[in-house]
Chain A
């Protein structure tokens, strides 16, 4: 009788083991299915528009819900330009922050400043958006943009970038807000990878008489190149796909303008602004097709970033 109970018990334990193992397996596969589901459902939803406009969808600037003629050129242009502005500003500043935190700051300052930067990364993007609209945009409109127009607007070559009235909102403002948003992400990844440099390596450079900057530029940076690029790409992926921070300040105008001060739109801002108002299947489908483009672009960027970061210690980067 007692033996029977033990046998039953063992059998029960074994079946729980089977169920538990299967449950974890299913959950893991579900993660794969999520990505597959996103891909399939987006292509399915965007297919009518993609099939209707074919390649001209990518090259047409017109976005006219009345005549049902849609082209993605302006959103693609806006997405790329705002992200470029954001990266041009955010990369050097984040690099500075990472250098400060790993090489320069006294020990008592490292943790509070590091935590502050990480908290900045946790602030939801809608907060950046509302701040950009009510604080940054008026500031730019009153003080910065008139100066740019006056001093750079007439310059040959780059003058075209700074023409037109100071709207406050527009491509430049969106790029700036994005820069502030991705800065903490890039900075904290860079700091984490900079910390992986063995002290011996730096000390030997100091031993040869290198200055602090030379140690950073010629030892730390080359040693951490893959991780640094990974962090930058991660920030770029974020900038490309960011919705709320941009939607508030971009102006939502479907046109390609050479001036950075002009209102424009990005892929995500177009979707956020118009999706619930879109009437007609082709309109909705065109917006989903924009989503397909965004997904394809960001997938490539993020995949590269993750592959570069994968070589590094995963645990050091768990905060990202």
Chain B
């Protein structure tokens, strides 16, 4: 065999392996989704959305956990989104080119990838220890801490997409910068910012580790923000590791619900971004 044949063989072999690698990745995704659907779908019923998490050995639903997840995600976003958007605005507008911006950007990127259990410990130290008990509000703050870096990052990226000419035109009218930001830049970047918020929700609605020792769990219906509150991820964690058949079934059902929610959120975010990019070209 001459050298060219060997080189071609090596090339084809390597590329075939690349195809196999992709196949492995797709099989993993398929296997996980298939397991979720086959285990979770059977448990999905009216009771899932109308009954509380049951005691061991009983059938029940996930109503209190779904409610808790919605409440804590909502409050987490309500805390995290304004801070994230403002900080992103600082990076893209007021702080452009400043040393502080470079530092904030770097720290934000580190926070973006920091282990979420660390955030849980942090909120435990600053809130749960002070208050003396676990609470839904501590869980919401933990989720906010995770939502902030996501929002900062996407907001800055989206504001940077706004053409300089548009900002200049606004400034030339003699308005202050805040008017340019709120009347020109934010409306122009609205769908991008919404995308960032969707991604933030997708990220925090599946987080388990930060809730383990902030919101903890609650077997009963509770709307008290100052008390432990049930939430889907922690319920899945506790029920999946239990020896009871009913609980394990509920864990699968909950897992299916969370995954579907998150996949829908990310697909929505993706299609908004695709629309924005198409509009710009």
Question: A134 within 8 Å of B by Cβ?
Answer: yes
The interface residues of chain A lying within 8 Å CB-to-CB of B117 are 241, 243, 268, 271-272, 291, 294
- Chain B 139-182, CB-CB to A under 8 Å as 1, else 0, gives 00000010011001110010011000000000000011111011
**What total of chain A residues lie within 8 Å of the partner, measured CB to CB?**
96
Interface residues of B in 60-94 (CB under 8 A from A): 82-87, 89-91, 93-94
The interface residues of chain A lying within 8 Å CB-to-CB of B145 are 34
Cβ contact within 8 Å between A117 and B25 = yes
Whole-angstrom CA separation of A32 from B102 in the bound complex: 11
Cβ contact within 8 Å between B263 and A37 = no
Q: Given A31-B149, A117-B25, A294-B115: A299 and B90 within 8 A (CB)?
A: no
Question: B218 within 8 Å of A by Cβ?
Answer: no
The interface residues of chain A lying within 8 Å CB-to-CB of B21 are 92-97, 99-100
Question: B121 within 8 Å of A by Cβ?
Answer: yes
Whole-angstrom CA separation of A113 from B30 in the bound complex: 12
**Interface centre among A95, A184, A211, A242, by most B CB within 10 Å?**
A211
B18, B31, B108, B157: the one within 8 Å of A31 (CB): B108
Whole-angstrom CA separation of A183 from B89 in the bound complex: 33
Interface of A is mostly: helix
Whole-angstrom CA separation of A119 from B36 in the bound complex: 15
Whole-angstrom CA separation of A288 from B126 in the bound complex: 13
Q: Given A211-B11, A268-B115, A314-B157: A130 and B240 within 8 A (CB)?
A: yes
Interface residues of B in 253-277 (CB under 8 A from A): 255, 258-259, 262-263, 266-267, 270
A2: min CB distance to chain B, Å: 18
The interface residues of chain A lying within 8 Å CB-to-CB of B185 are none
**Interface centre among B12, B21, B116, B236, by most A CB within 10 Å?**
B21
**Interface centre among B17, B95, B117, B181, by most A CB within 10 Å?**
B117
Question: A28 within 8 Å of B by Cβ?
Answer: yes
B223: min CB distance to chain A, Å: 22
Question: A116 within 8 Å of B by Cβ?
Answer: yes
Cβ contact within 8 Å between A126 and B270 = no
B104, B126, B153, B255: the one within 8 Å of A127 (CB): B255
The interface residues of chain B lying within 8 Å CB-to-CB of A118 are 266, 270
Whole-angstrom CA separation of A28 from B98 in the bound complex: 12
A13, A24, A34, A117: the one within 8 Å of B148 (CB): A34
Question: B208 within 8 Å of A by Cβ?
Answer: yes
Whole-angstrom CA separation of A32 from B95 in the bound complex: 14
Interface residues of A in 288-320 (CB under 8 A from B): 288, 291, 294-295, 298-299, 302-303, 305-307, 310, 314-315, 318
Cβ contact within 8 Å between A97 and B178 = no
A187: min CB distance to chain B, Å: 7
Cβ contact within 8 Å between A27 and B15 = no
Q: Which interface class (under 10, 10 to 19, 20 to 34, 35 or more) fits B?
A: 35 or more
Whole-angstrom CA separation of A243 from B237 in the bound complex: 11
A115, A134, A242: the one within 8 Å of B115 (CB): A242
Q: Which residue of A lies closest to B206 (CB)?
A: A124
A21, A27, A103, A318: the one within 8 Å of B87 (CB): A27
The interface residues of chain B lying within 8 Å CB-to-CB of A92 are 21
Whole-angstrom CA separation of A211 from B10 in the bound complex: 9
Whole-angstrom CA separation of A20 from B179 in the bound complex: 10
- Chain A 104-146, CB-CB to B under 8 Å as 1, else 0, gives 1100000001011111101111111111011100000000000
Whole-angstrom CA separation of A106 from B46 in the bound complex: 44
Q: What would 24 A/B residue contacts be, using CB atoms closer than 8 Å?
A: A28-B104, A30-B83, A31-B87, A31-B104, A31-B111, A34-B148, A37-B126, A44-B125, A103-B18, A104-B18, A113-B22, A115-B270, A116-B26, A117-B26, A118-B270, A120-B28, A120-B29, A127-B206, A131-B32, A211-B11, A247-B237, A288-B125, A305-B113, A315-B157
Q: Taking beta carbons and an 8 Å cutoff, which residues of B are in contact with A?
A: 7-8, 10-12, 14-15, 17-22, 24-26, 28-29, 31-32, 35-36, 39, 82-87, 89-91, 93-95, 100-101, 103-104, 106-111, 113-119, 121-122, 124-126, 129, 145, 148-149, 152-154, 157, 160-161, 175-179, 181-182, 202, 205-209, 212-213, 216, 233, 236-237, 240-241, 251-252, 255, 258-259, 262-263, 266-267, 270
Q: Supply 12 further A-B pairs (C-beta < 8 A) apart from A24-B87, A243-B115.
A: A16-B176, A42-B121, A96-B21, A123-B206, A130-B251, A130-B252, A133-B240, A213-B11, A275-B124, A298-B113, A298-B114, A307-B106
